Amino acid sequence: MVNDEYYLWGAGKFGARVIEFLKKDIAFKAVIDNDPKKQGTLFRGLPVISFDEASSKLPETKIIIAMNRIAEIKAFLQRKRFIENQDYYSLIGFIPRYYWAKNKSLVFRTVSIGVTTKCTMKCKGCNTLIPYVVNSKNIDTENILNDIDLLFSYVDSVITLNITVGESLINQELPDICFRIFEKFSGRYAEMIIQTNATVLPDDDAMRSFSKSKVFFVPSNYPENKTKTEVLINKCNEFGVGWYYNEAGGNRENWFDPGNPNCINETSPVKLQQRYKECRKPGMGLYNGWLYICAQQTWSHVVAEAGIVESGDAFDLRQPVSETSREELYRIITQQPTETGYLSQCMRCYGTNTLLRSK
C-alpha cells in the first residue's frame, strides 16, 4: 500500500480535509468527481477528472473515496469488478491499513465520544438513538477523560475526535473536557469537533475555552433552527472558534433509523452478512473502556445499556498494551469481525444506507 499511487474520489469539503491530513504521506495523482462543472478545474492544486479519464490507470492506481455518502460509489466500482480494500478504499478502511503497513502505527479516521444523552430535539430517525433514551444524563467527566487516556495508550493518532450523542452543549462541563483533552493530546489528533443542533448557546467564558482548545463546531443546519444556527456561527466567528456545517444534518432524506437498541429485527446469518457488507461503516465509538467497531453499537450501550459486548464487536482498551494486543486491535478495527461475518449490532440495525424510516 505504501508504494501505491492513488486517486481521491470527491472534490468537496471532506475531500479537502483528507488531502490536508494525508499530504505528508500521499501525493494524489488527481481527484475524481462526477460533477462536470468541477472536471477540468483544480482542487487543492490537483486536477479534477472524470472516472472515464481515470479508467486507463485503474485499478493499478488505487482509489480512496472521500465522501460522506459512499454507497453509490462503492456499488458503481463493484459493478466494474473492483475489489474493496484492494482496488479502492473508503477512508475509514484505508487509514488504519495504510499506516499499519507503513510503520505499524495505529491511526484511525474517526472516534466518537458521547458526552450526554440529553437533547433539545427528539428527531425521528435520530442515528444516535436519542428517541429511545429512558433516563437522560450527562456522561461522567472523569469517565470520558479516562476513556480518552485509554484510547491514546493504544492509538498513535486519530484524524477526528467526534463529540456527540445528544445535544453536546447541554453538558456544561464540555468546555473543561475539551480543554483537558487538548492540553494532553493536541498533537495526537487532527481535529476535535462538537456536533450540535445549535439550540444551546454557550456563554462567553465557554466560547473562550473552546477557542483555546481549538475545537470545531459542526452544526447540523436544520431549517427550523436557522436563526439560532446563525447566532452560534456569529459567536464562533467573534471568539475565533472554527466551524463547518454537518453536510448531512439538514437533509433528513440522508438519515437512517438504526432501530431500537434493545430489539432484534433480523436473525438470518445470510441477511446479516449482507447487511454488514453493504453498511457504510459509520466509524468507531468509545465508551466505558471499550472501543467499538461500530459507533451505532456504542450508542446502543450509552443510550440503553443494551446487552453485553460480544467477541469481535469491540476491543477492551483496559488490557495491558503489548505488541500482541495492538495487533489484535488492528485486526478488529480493520473490519474483520468474528466468523459469523457480522456484528451483533447488525441484528438491531436496519443498515446505515437506508433513508429515514417511518416506524
Residue 357 has pLDDT above 60, yes or no: no
The reply to whether 166 falls in a domain is: yes
Does one domain contain both 75 and 174?
no
Does one domain contain both 293 and 161?
yes
A 10 A CB-CB count for 152 gives 19
d(CA 237, CA 157): 28
Average pLDDT of span 258-263: 85
pLDDT band for position 334 (cuts 50, 70, 90) = confident
The reply to whether 245 falls in a domain is: yes
Q: How many domains does the chain have?
A: 2
Does one domain contain both 233 and 87?
no
The reply to whether 53 falls in a domain is: yes
Does one domain contain both 79 and 115?
no
Average pLDDT of span 243-266: 78
Does one domain contain both 76 and 122?
no
Average pLDDT of span 275-289: 85
Residue 134 has pLDDT above 90, yes or no: no
pLDDT band for position 356 (cuts 50, 70, 90) = very low
Does one domain contain both 296 and 353?
yes
Range of the domain at 43: 6-102
Residue 64 has pLDDT above 50, yes or no: yes
Higher pLDDT: 311 or 298? It is: 298
Residue 14 has pLDDT above 90, yes or no: no
Choose the final residue of a domain: 55, 71, 102.
Answer: 102
Choose the final residue of a domain: 75, 102, 129.
Answer: 102
Please provide the distance, in angstroms rounded to a whole number, between the alpha carbons at the two ends of the chain. Answer: 44
Does one domain contain both 130 and 168?
yes
The reply to whether 148 falls in a domain is: yes
Per-position b or e across 270-280, b if 16+ CB within 10 A of its CB: eebeebbeebb
Rounded percentage of the chain residues whose pLDDT exceeds 70: 93
Does one domain contain both 161 and 85?
no
Mean per-residue pLDDT over the chain, rounded: 89
d(CA 242, CA 257): 30
CATH number of the domain that residue 185 is part of: 3.20.20.70
The reply to whether 244 falls in a domain is: yes
245 Cβ contact list (under 8 Å, min separation 6): 218, 219, 220, 221
What's the half-sphere exposure (Cβ side, CA atoms, 13 Å) at 54?
27
Higher pLDDT: 15 or 259? It is: 15
Does one domain contain both 223 and 354?
yes
Does one domain contain both 236 and 202?
yes
CATH number of the domain that residue 75 is part of: 3.40.50.720
pLDDT digits (tens, 9 = 90+) for 91-120: 888 999 999 999 999 999 899 999 999 999
Q: What is the pLDDT of residue 285?
A: 95
Considering only CA atoms, which of 106, 38, 40 is closest in space to residue 67?
38
Query: Angle of helix 91-103 relative to helix 323-333, nearest 10 degrees?
Result: 150
Kindly report the pTM of this predicted structure. Answer: 0.88
Q: Which residue's entry shows cell 436519542? A: 130
Does one domain contain both 268 and 133?
yes
Q: What is the pLDDT of residue 359?
A: 33
Q: What is the pLDDT of residue 352?
A: 65
pLDDT digits (tens, 9 = 90+) for 229-243: 999 999 999 999 999
Does one domain contain both 12 and 36?
yes
Average pLDDT of span 259-264: 86
Residue 69 has pLDDT above 70, yes or no: no
Residue 355 has pLDDT above 70, yes or no: no
Higher pLDDT: 339 or 86? It is: 86
The x, y and z cell numbers of residue 83, run together, are 475489489
DSSP string, 33-89: -S-TTTTTSEETTEEEE-HHHHGGGTTTSEEEE--S--HHHHHHHHHTT--BTTTEE
The reply to whether 226 falls in a domain is: yes
The reply to whether 1 falls in a domain is: no
Helix (H) or strand (E) holding 347: none
The reply to whether 79 falls in a domain is: yes
Residue 5 has pLDDT above 70, yes or no: yes
pLDDT digits (tens, 9 = 90+) for 136-161: 999 999 999 999 999 999 999 998 99
105 Cβ contact list (under 8 Å, min separation 6): 99, 156, 157
Choose the final residue of a domain: 71, 87, 102.
Answer: 102
